[in-house]
Structure formats: C-alpha cells, structure tokens
C-alpha cells in the first residue's frame, strides 16, 4: 500500500468543514480590516529563502525541500557540446566548478576544439575569479575563431563584474544551444519572502500601503509530532509599503495585533497569550550580538554543537536552542531589551500604548527573538496552552529591511502567519457542529431519475442542500441512505407524485409525513 509521506496527511471530511469554517471566518475578518488576498507560487528560487530567511536559521540550514530543477549544468552542457562538436576532445566534468588548468598538452589540443567552461549552479566567488582568469587566458592565447566557450551559472549578486561580463558574453552561446541552465528551487517554508519578492517584482509600492493576506501550504522538513508537520498550512498577512505610506508606524503593528486578537476571539479561541518583544534595529542588534559573543565565549564549550556554531556566526540564534541542558546557560545571557536604541524603544512603547488603549492584553518576553533572520523591532507570538509542546499558534513581527535585502527599495513591513493546523486543533467547535448536512434526500422510485433530478435542481437553486438518490434503490435502501447522510427529510418522487405535482415529504427525526405541492417544497424544507 502506498501511504501519505511522513509528515504529510490527508484532511478528510467532516474535518475539512472545520477548515472551511476557519477560512471563511478569517476571510471575513481580513475584509473588515481591508486586507486583500495574494497567491504566490509554492516553489521559489532557493536563494530567496537563503537571503530572506537567513542561511543560519534552522529553516534554511536544515529544513528546506530543495532540488536542482532541470539538467545539471555540467551534464547538460557536455551533452550539448558533444552534439554540436562531434569528435571533439572528451571532456570530463569533475565535481564543483569545471575548469581545466593550464596544461601545454591540453592547450595544444584545444586549438582544434571547442571549449566548454562551466560552473555549477552555486559557484564560489573564488571559483568564478579562477574562471574569469582562465577565460582571459584562452582569449589571449588561442585565436578567437577556434574557441566557442560556453558558461552556465545563475546571476549572483556577489559575482565580480569581470565575471559577469564574461558570463553575459558566453551566455549568448548558451542561448544558441537552447540550453536552460538548471536552477536550485525550494518548496516555500514560509510565505513572507515570497510576498516581498512579489512586492518588488510588481512594483507594488505604486499602490502605497499594501495589506495582503494568504492561505496555503508551507513545507519544512522538521521531525513530525503533534501539531508539527512537514506540509502544514499557514494563514498569514503582510502590511508593506514605502515609509511615506505609513508602513513604519507603530499604529500598524498595533492594528495587526488587535486584528489577531479579534480573529481568535471570533473563532471562540479566547485563552490565548500574546507574547511581545522588540528585537531592535540592525544597529541595536549588532551591539547585542557583540555582547552575546562575549558572554558566550567562556561558556560555549559546554553548549550543543549548534550553539557553538551559532555563538560565532549568528549569536542571536542561540535563543532558538531547544536543548534542555543549554537552557540554564541561555538564561544568563544578556537580553536585547538592554540594547534597544531610543528610536526602537519609543516605537515599542507606542505599540504597547495602543494595545492597552484598545484592550488587547499582552505579556513581554525578552527571550523571544523568532527563528527567522529578517525581523526588526516588534516581534510576537500567540501561544495557546491546549496545544502542548508546539504551543505557538502564530508568530510574526516587523521586517523593515527585508525588501532591501532582496534587492528592492526600502519597504518597512509587518506581518504574521497563523499555523492553521494548530488553529484548527485549538477550536472548541467540532466538525459536526459546523458541517451543513443535507436538508433533504430526494428518493426516486423506479424510472424516476429524470424527474428527481429536475426536482433536486429546483430545490438547489433555492439553496436547499440536496442529496440525490437513485431509482435503482428500493425504498428501504433509500431510507437507509438518507439516514446515513444525516438528511433532515426524505422526499419521495414516484409516478403519482409527479402527476399530482405534490410530493410526500417525511421528517426523518419525527416520522411526520405530509404531501407538499412542488412550489412550496423549498420553503417547507427550509422552514
């Protein structure tokens, strides 16, 4: 038997009714706060998450579903090259960047051959520099008409100019071969980076302040457990735009948080706890990171491998550590609150003031740094006791520098994502409670399928929920099917009923049976 992959699951009825209930409620709330829906692709360039979420985060370092899309550059190029150069020198790509070092014998052969210069999809800068000087060497030593070098690698911001020029020149050769270089792609582990990419790609700043929401699956290769899946669903929202449109204002932070409180309350989830912190500006954090590095220096040996690495590369991430033995050490570390500059502190206080005014309760948690690198200033989580270990029902915060980190203009933003799986788990409502069962089961007698279908059609046009039977069923079987479907009424469609244009309608709970004229059926069933 082929089963659903570990960490993924089927959502079956009647549980899907709860999901629809939640989604309909959140769409209503989003409408009231003037948010509009955005749908971004489920996979994106790997680089988007590496640069957006951060290379050092658990998500990017350990949890992404990433693959090379298309032919490996090396193999594709060699094949293309062989096709266009029958009888050319055999060419063996090694791992990594493929560059033939200067070798008099090889160069002698080159004089009669085409050369393939090829880089893998993520070459290092050093490798590219090597490539550039090699290309230069070829141009100087071998007559141009004998060389048709081909190069394949994606555009990278850190590629030196000389290499970029070379890549462009050689890229034309590649296009002639109709070769599409392979690209590293990733199933989205979260949706904020995708939304900001779309913001930049479609110049959404022209619209001023964008208030966008999304509902959809995300993918992280985490260890599955209750409330933690490898395919999970998020309901998220982002407020992003130029500062001139008010995107930086603490009023936006407070509005987003108040909306979340309203949303949870409306869904009947009232026992939530809002944990709030400010992770400061990049400048505040640079000081904090220095202090953390210093504080970690004498103790890091005693910590887990991940923390030892984090202590050097990105000390803030030490706060993500879940290893129990490390917790007492982490407790002694300095907190970001001590390093907030005047501006960050004022912003944070303004957010808290508005929350207090609108009556949204919160608690401050100075250990809350969130597991993604893009956060600045306000950071928050809503937790819910009933969820157990995975108690964060949603998380979010400001990401004022993300657009710039992705090559866009300055565009402060704030947003959140709710774990929909966890939200559904926290509901008091049951699937049975929100499911709309059939109002009526239409039971055709022998030869009456057509008449029954006509009647069902009329009723459905009046928004009656109809389950339609089959004239091959005996009456007893129709009654059983109607009961199993949970229908309120059963409606018998026989020859006599059609002639009389009145149908016998039986209430399955009370057993009461009446004959109702066609024109009155819908009203009677709904009443």
Q: How far is CA 130 from the centre of its chain?
A: 38
Cβ proximity to ligand HAM, 2 vs 5, nearer residue:
5
Q: Which is nearer to ligand HAM, 268 or 447 (CB)?
A: 268
**CA gap 509, 145 in Å, rounded:** 90
Say if residues 394 and 416 touch (Cβ distance below 8 Å). yes
Whose Cβ is closer to ligand HAM: residue 238's or residue 373's?
238
Q: What are the distances in angstroms from CA 294 to CA 287, 288, 519?
A: 11, 10, 82
Residue 15 lies near ligand HAM (rule: CB under 6 A): no
Q: How far is the CB of 418 from ligand HAM (least distance, A)?
A: 6
Alpha carbon distance 405, 402 (integer Å):
5
Return the residue of 110, 128, 316, 393 that touches ligand HAM, per CB under 6 A.
393
CB of 236 to ligand HAM, least distance (A): 5
Binding-site size for ligand HAM (CB under 6 A) equals: 27
As measured in angstroms, the least distance from the Cβ of 186 to ligand HAM is 14
Identity of the residue, 228 or 518, whose beta carbon is nearer to ligand HAM in the bound complex = 228
Q: Does 71 bind ligand HAM (CB under 6 A)?
A: no
Print the SS3 string covering 65-90.
CEEEECCCHHHHHHHHHHHHCCCCCC
Q: How far is the CB of 39 from ligand HAM (least distance, A)?
A: 16
Q: Which is nearer to ligand HAM, 82 or 228 (CB)?
A: 228
Provide, rounded to whole angstroms, the least separation between the CB of residue 420 and ligand HAM: 8
Task: Give the 3-state secondary structure percentages of the chain, helix then strand then coil, rounded to 5.
Answer: 45, 20, 35
Cβ distance to ligand HAM smaller for residue 173 or 190: 190
Q: Which is nearer to ligand HAM, 263 or 417 (CB)?
A: 417
Task: Return the residue of 131, 417, 466, 487 that touches ligand HAM, per CB under 6 A.
Answer: 417
Closest CA to 131 of 104, 175, 101, 155: 101
Hey, how many other C-beta atoms are within 10 angstroms of the C-beta on 137?
12
Q: How far is CA 141 from CA 100, 102, 118, 144, 146, in A?
A: 15, 11, 19, 9, 11
Binding to ligand HAM, residues 163-202 (CB under 6 A) = 190-192
Q: Which is nearer to ligand HAM, 1 or 389 (CB)?
A: 389
**Strand-strand pairing, 36-37 and 66-69:** unpaired
Question: Residue 395, interface with ligand HAM (CB under 6 A)?
Answer: yes
Residue of 123, 397, 401, 494 that binds ligand HAM (CB under 6 A): 397
Confirm or reject binding of residue 300 to ligand HAM (CB under 6 A): no
Nearer to ligand HAM, 279 or 456 (CB): 279
Of 430, 425, 436, residue with least CA distance to 394:
425
Phi/psi at 185 (5° precision): -120, 160
Of 416, 441, 479, 489, the one binding ligand HAM by CB under 6 A: 416
In the complex, what is the shortest distance from the CB of residue 466 to ligand HAM, in angstroms, rounded to a whole number? Answer: 37
Q: 303: closest CA among 273, 333, 276, 277?
A: 333
Q: Which of 248, 421, 439, 451 binds ligand HAM (CB under 6 A)?
A: 421
Site for ligand HAM in 220-249 (CB under 6 A): 220, 222, 227-229, 232, 234, 236, 238
Q: Which stretch binds ligand HAM (CB under 6 A): 162-170, 252-260, 391-399, 434-442?
A: 391-399
Q: Does 392 bind ligand HAM (CB under 6 A)?
A: yes
Q: How far is the CB of 233 from ligand HAM (least distance, A)?
A: 8
Strand, coil or helix: what is 256? helix
Q: Pick the closest to residue 7 from 236, 322, 219, 187 (CA basis).
A: 219
Task: Show the site string, 201-220: x = touches ligand HAM by CB under 6 A, - = not.
Answer: -------------------x
Half-sphere exposure of 354 (CA within 13 A, CB side): 16
C-beta of 134 vs 233, nearer to ligand HAM: 233
Element (H, E) at 27: helix 15-32
196-163-103 Cα angle (round to 5)? 140
Nearer to ligand HAM, 228 or 309 (CB): 228
Closest CB 340 distance from ligand HAM, rounded Å: 20
The residue nearest ligand HAM at its CB is 419
396 lies in the binding site for ligand HAM (CB under 6 A): yes
Q: Find out whether 192 and 57 touch, Cβ atoms under 8 Å.
A: no
Q: Is the dihedral of CA 335, 338, 341, 342 positive or negative?
A: positive
Closest CA to 166 of 155, 178, 179: 155
Nearer to ligand HAM, 205 or 229 (CB): 229
**Residue 74 vs 192, nearer CB to ligand HAM:** 192
CA-CA-CA-CA torsion sign (318, 323, 329, 335): positive
Distances, alpha carbon 420 to alpha carbons 10, 255, 394, 411, in Å: 14, 21, 9, 27
- 153 near ligand HAM (CB under 6 A): no
Say how far apart CA 437 and CA 75 lie, in whole Å. 57
How near is the Cβ of 253 to ligand HAM at its closest, in Å?
Answer: 11
| Residue numbers at the binding site for ligand HAM (CB under 6 A) | 190-192, 220, 222, 227-229, 232, 234, 236, 238, 371-372, 392-397, 399, 415-417, 419, 421-422
């Amino acid at each position: 038997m082929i089963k659903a992959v570990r960490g993924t699951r089927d959502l079956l009825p009647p549980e899907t009714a709860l999901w629809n209930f939640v989604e309909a409620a959140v769409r209503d709330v989003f409408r009231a706060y003037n948010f509009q829906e955005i749908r971004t692709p489920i996979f994106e360039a790997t680089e988007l998450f590496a640069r957006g979420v951060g290379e050092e985060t658990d998500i990017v370092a350990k949890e992404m579903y990433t693959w090379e899309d298309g032919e490996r550059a090396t193999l594709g190029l060699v094949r293309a090259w062989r096709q266009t150069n029958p009888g050319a020198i055999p060419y063996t790509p090694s791992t990594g960047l493929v560059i033939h070092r200067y070798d008099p014998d090889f160069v002698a052969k080159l004089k009669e051959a085409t050369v393939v210069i090829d880089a893998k999809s993520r070459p290092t800068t050093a490798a590219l520099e090597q490539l550039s000087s090699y290309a230069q060497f070829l141009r100087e030593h071998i007559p141009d008409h004998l060389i048709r070098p081909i190069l394949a690698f994606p555009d990278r911001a850190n590629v030196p100019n000389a290499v970029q020029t070379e890549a462009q020149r050689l890229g034309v050769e590649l296009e002639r071969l109709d070769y599409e270089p392979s690209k590293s792609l990733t199933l989205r582990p979260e949706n904020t980076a995708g939304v900001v990419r779309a913001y930049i790609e479609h110049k959404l700043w022209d619209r001023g302040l964008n208030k966008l929401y999304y509902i959809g699956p995300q993918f992280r290769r985490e260890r599955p457990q209750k409330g933690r899946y490898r395919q999970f669903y998020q309901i998220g929202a982002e407020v992003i735009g130029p500062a001139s449109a008010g995107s930086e204002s603490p009023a936006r932070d407070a509005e987003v948080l108040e909306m979340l409180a309203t949303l949870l309350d409306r869904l009947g989830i009232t026992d939530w706890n809002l944990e709030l912190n400010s992770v400061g500006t990049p400048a505040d954090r640079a000081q904090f990171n220095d202090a953390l590095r210093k504080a970690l220096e004498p103790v890091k040996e005693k910590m887990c491998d991940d923390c030892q690495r984090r202590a050097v590369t990105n000390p803030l991430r030490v706060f993500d550590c879940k290893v129990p033995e490390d917790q007492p050490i982490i407790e002694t570390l300095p907190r970001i609150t001590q390093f907030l500059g005047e501006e960050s502190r004022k912003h944070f206080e303004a957010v808290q003031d508005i929350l207090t005014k609108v009556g949204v309760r919160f608690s401050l948690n100075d250990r809350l740094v969130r597991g993604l690198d893009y956060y600045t200033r306000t950071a928050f989580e809503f937790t819910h006791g009933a969820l157990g270990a995975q108690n964060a029902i949603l998380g979010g915060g400001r990401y004022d520098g993300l657009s710039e980190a992705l090559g866009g203009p300055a565009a402060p933003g704030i947003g959140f994502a709710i774990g929909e799986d966890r939200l559904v788990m926290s509901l008091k409502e049951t699937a049975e409670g929100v499911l709309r069962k059939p109002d009526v089961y239409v039971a055709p007698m022998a030869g009456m399928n057509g008449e029954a279908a006509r009647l069902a059609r009329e009723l459905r046009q009046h928004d009656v929920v109809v389950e339609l039977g089959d004239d091959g069923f005996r009456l007893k079987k129709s009654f059983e099917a109607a009961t199993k479907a949970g229908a309120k009424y059963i409606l018998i469609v026989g020859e006599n009923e059609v002639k009389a244009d009145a149908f016998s309608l039986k209430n399955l709970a009370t057993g009461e049976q009446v004959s109702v004229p066609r024109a009155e059926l819908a009203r009677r069933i709904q009443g």
